[in-house]
Chain A
Amino acid sequence: MVTLNHYLILSATIFAIGVIGVLVRRNLIVVLMSIELMLNAVNLTFIAFSRFLGSMQGQVVVFFVMAVAAAEAVIGLAIIISVFRHRRSLDPQDMQLLKW
């Protein structure tokens, strides 16, 4: 029997993988992909609760999140391309000009 807890544990695991990916990966595209992982982990939680509570609200929010995630992916990729053209690098460690 797959219970709500199974969904939540899976979702938390995916979210944690996403967070670690954002924090430690040295490639911006992978960082972006990790953010998608986090978003979708949250989506999974929404869906699970929606099903568990018998309410449609969670599913509605998921659609919004997917729309925002799509827009975010477009803008994020555009910025990454533009950064790559300037710096010939996608390592976030090389992008430290904005300080002090």
Chain B
Amino acid sequence: MTVDFLRWMPLIPLLAVLINIFFGARLGKKFAAGLACAAVAASFAIALFVFWQLPADGTFRDTVYTWIESGSFQVKLSFQVDALTAVMLLVVTGIGFLIHFYALGYMGHDDGIIRFFAYLNLFIFFMLLLVMGDNLLVLFVGWEGVGLCSYLLIGFWYHDHKNTIAGNKAFIVNRIGDFGFMLGILLLVTALGRQGIWTLDFVELQKHVNLLSPEIITLITLLLFVGATGKSAQIPLFVWLPDAMAGPTPVSALIHAATMVTAGVYMTARLHFLFALAPATLSLIAIIGAATAFFAATVALAQTDIKRVLAYSTVSQLGYMFLAVGVGAFSAAIFHLFTHAFFKACLFLGAGSVIHALDGEQDMRNMGGLRRYLPTTYWTYLVATLAISGTPLTAGFFSKDLILWQAYVSPHGSTELWLVAWITAGMTAFYMFRQLFLVFHGEFRGSEQVKAHAHESPPVMTLPLVVLAVGSIFAGWLATPDYLWGNRWDPWLHPIFGGAHEAAHGALDDEIRLMALTLAIGALGFVLAYIAYGRKSRLPDRIASLAGGAFDRLLLNNYYIDGLYDALIVRPFTSFSRWCAQFFDPAVIDGLVNAVAKGARGFSLIWREVQTGNVQHYLAGFLAATVALLVYFLGQQ
């Protein structure tokens, strides 16, 4: 069905960007920031309306114009909204709006606020392109665009050189992934083109996908997944996300927790018809997802920076989503994406509120006892922590339990995958409650000066927190296990993912038993966190100094993976580049060019002697040539 106002959803934020870039300084900071919020609010309103109008198994479509036309190959700039896109739309614009609203307070005193909101709106525009595009090329434009905005916003405070470095790192690591993604798209197009079908449309692709051989599909999906590992921070390309915390906190919440990093999950879900035909890729995705979830969670155990804990937690939760994708439970992955957006955005914004109150302090060792000074932040943080730890009846409980259950019961799943995810659930509870206790409980460990300043954030910041905290509980009630009121989520996404990938069902008492096990390990995590950090105890120090503190340092430094990449890739590459710059380019490339020039010059130096400037010499030459020609032509006869 054609609905011609879909285009306004991405267009309104783009218009706001243009206005803010060209006239922002003249309109004033307040107006510019307000405009940015209003633009996202307008997109959100349209998204709600579309969601309301969308029939159960229908698709809204809006074709703006034909972008590329070459023979029978056609790419249109065209938007579509189906159930999957509608979910993403609500997350992007809804949570995006809350975070814009929050940023009004958080960034209120920043000099670059107009630039900030322009970037943020640009991000919303590209993200909407990504989720609304009805072909791979529009998706790819959005995919690259959000990467660009991510880079711009990580390095937003560019006066500090290390922020710029972090931005570069995010961009370059993403480029590696995007390269694979692009190869995947090209391979897909040419492989189908060889069968006579030149198209990038999702609908067409789905129709003709069975023309491809299984080997080609496996290769395509592997390449596409390389793109997903970059964008969604999975092993081995996850190293950029913790560093991305250099950006302002609302950015971390919006881009690096709720929306952009989930683009990889969205992409695999959108192309589920391809991935479903590549069981080898799926099992690799499941393994990488579970491994990422596990490793990131172990690293999060030892972090001291409030935002880095959340960053590794995000990597870990994204691992859960890919685990779900890998066992074929696409709708469970999207469900976890949906609930995770709420509680992780809430956690990041809460962390931002704490950082704001403490004048930029991010080290949890200098916090403590903040629940007295920041009551609203504390309560919302507590709710979100409960949700991510999987406390019953919160959103995280339902979505994570669904993934664990699917990992166990799905034909692609296995007990090992479930076991890894299960242990990760316990670690999640531990590191989140460790953070909660370190930040909000106990005595304040920072300086007196900071303590005197500590204050609750203004309502403009606490209001989004409260809304997100409410969402952190109720968002999960859409898909409850069979022993409660059942799953309303899968039927909603059923027209997209179809019967083939429907959530696997197993014995009810198995499900309850697994749920009890998950609850048990979550509770264990909480209890351990309480024993170690909930009360005055020297236990953490004693654990940290195990094996001479080597273990603690290993985790704190992310298993030295950054150092490993540095030594294996970055340093050889930079020294190669330096060699190129200092030797190869000046000596070989310049040498070749100069040799040609010198040769020409030497040759000319000899021949220029012919040009004496003396007319009589020229005439002699003229005569000689004439005589020679005469002799030649007369000799011919």
Extra pairs beyond A95-B615, A99-B613 (16, CB < 8 Å): A19-B623, A22-B619, A23-B616, A23-B619, A23-B620, A24-B616, A92-B614, A93-B614, A93-B616, A95-B613, A95-B614, A96-B613, A97-B613, A100-B608, A100-B611, A100-B613
Bound complex: CA A100 to CA B614 (Å):
12
Q: List 26 A-B contacts (CB under 8 A).
A: A19-B623, A22-B616, A22-B619, A23-B616, A23-B619, A23-B620, A23-B623, A24-B616, A92-B614, A92-B615, A92-B616, A93-B614, A93-B616, A95-B613, A95-B614, A95-B615, A96-B612, A96-B613, A97-B613, A98-B613, A99-B611, A99-B612, A99-B613, A100-B608, A100-B611, A100-B613
- Minimum Cβ distance to chain A for residue B92 (Å): 70
Closest 9 CB pairs of A and B: A99-B613, A96-B613, A99-B611, A96-B614, A98-B613, A100-B608, A23-B620, A92-B616, A23-B616
- Minimum Cβ distance to chain A for residue B148 (Å): 54
Bound complex: CA A97 to CA B619 (Å):
17
Bound complex: CA A93 to CA B615 (Å):
8
Q: List, in ascending order, chain B residues with CB within 8 A of A19's CB.
A: 623
Bound complex: CA A96 to CA B611 (Å):
10
- Minimum Cβ distance to chain A for residue B569 (Å): 55
- Minimum Cβ distance to chain A for residue B613 (Å): 3
Q: List, in ascending order, chain B residues with CB within 8 A of A24's CB.
A: 616
Q: List, in ascending order, chain B residues with CB within 8 A of A99's CB.
A: 611-613
Please, which residue of chain A has its CB at the minimum distance from the CB of B620? A23
Q: List, in ascending order, chain B residues with CB within 8 A of A96's CB.
A: 612-614
Q: List, in ascending order, chain A residues with CB within 8 A of B623's CB.
A: 19, 23
Q: List, in ascending order, chain A residues with CB within 8 A of B608's CB.
A: 100
Please, which residue of chain A has its CB at the minimum distance from the CB of B614? A96
Q: List, in ascending order, chain A residues with CB within 8 A of B614's CB.
A: 92-93, 95-96
Q: List, in ascending order, chain A residues with CB within 8 A of B620's CB.
A: 23
Bound complex: CA A96 to CA B616 (Å):
10
Mask: chain A, 1-34; 1 = CB below 8 Å from B; 0 = not: 0000000000000000001001110000000000
Bound complex: CA A99 to CA B608 (Å):
9
Interface size on A, residues (CB 8 A): 12
B 579-613 contacts with A by CB, 8 A: 608, 611-613
- Minimum Cβ distance to chain A for residue B595 (Å): 23
Q: List, in ascending order, chain A residues with CB within 8 A of B613's CB.
A: 95-100
Q: List, in ascending order, chain B residues with CB within 8 A of A100's CB.
A: 608, 611, 613
Please, which residue of chain B has its CB at the minimum distance from the CB of A97? B613
Bound complex: CA A75 to CA B174 (Å):
78
Please, which residue of chain B has its CB at the minimum distance from the CB of A31? B616
Q: Which of B608, B611, B613, B619 counts the most A-chain CB atoms under 10 A from its CB? A: B613
Q: List, in ascending order, chain B residues with CB within 8 A of A97's CB.
A: 613
Bound complex: CA A5 to CA B612 (Å):
39
- Minimum Cβ distance to chain B for residue A73 (Å): 17
Q: List, in ascending order, chain A residues with CB within 8 A of B611's CB.
A: 99-100
- Minimum Cβ distance to chain B for residue A74 (Å): 19
Please, which residue of chain B has its CB at the minimum distance from the CB of A100? B608
Bound complex: CA A6 to CA B608 (Å):
44
Q: List, in ascending order, chain B residues with CB within 8 A of A23's CB.
A: 616, 619-620, 623
Q: List, in ascending order, chain A residues with CB within 8 A of B616's CB.
A: 22-24, 92-93
Q: List, in ascending order, chain A residues with CB within 8 A of B619's CB.
A: 22-23
Bound complex: CA A98 to CA B615 (Å):
10
Bound complex: CA A22 to CA B613 (Å):
16
Bound complex: CA A99 to CA B619 (Å):
15
- Minimum Cβ distance to chain A for residue B635 (Å): 19
- Minimum Cβ distance to chain B for residue A26 (Å): 9
Bound complex: CA A77 to CA B170 (Å):
81
Bound complex: CA A96 to CA B615 (Å):
8
Bound complex: CA A83 to CA B620 (Å):
22
- Minimum Cβ distance to chain B for residue A11 (Å): 16
- Minimum Cβ distance to chain B for residue A62 (Å): 22
- Minimum Cβ distance to chain A for residue B205 (Å): 67
A 55-100 contacts with B by CB, 8 A: 92-93, 95-100
Bound complex: CA A97 to CA B616 (Å):
14
- Minimum Cβ distance to chain A for residue B322 (Å): 72
Bound complex: CA A24 to CA B619 (Å):
10
Bound complex: CA A24 to CA B614 (Å):
12
- Minimum Cβ distance to chain B for residue A93 (Å): 6
Bound complex: CA A100 to CA B623 (Å):
22
Bound complex: CA A29 to CA B335 (Å):
105
Bound complex: CA A95 to CA B614 (Å):
7
- Minimum Cβ distance to chain A for residue B158 (Å): 54
- Minimum Cβ distance to chain B for residue A30 (Å): 12
Please, which residue of chain B has its CB at the minimum distance from the CB of A20? B623
Please, which residue of chain B has its CB at the minimum distance from the CB of A94? B614
Please, which residue of chain A has its CB at the minimum distance from the CB of B623? A19
B 388-423 contacts with A by CB, 8 A: none
Q: List, in ascending order, chain B residues with CB within 8 A of A22's CB.
A: 616, 619
- Minimum Cβ distance to chain B for residue A35 (Å): 10
Please, which residue of chain B has its CB at the minimum distance from the CB of A26? B616
Q: List, in ascending order, chain A residues with CB within 8 A of B615's CB.
A: 92, 95
- Minimum Cβ distance to chain B for residue A29 (Å): 14
- Minimum Cβ distance to chain B for residue A45 (Å): 16
- Minimum Cβ distance to chain A for residue B312 (Å): 72
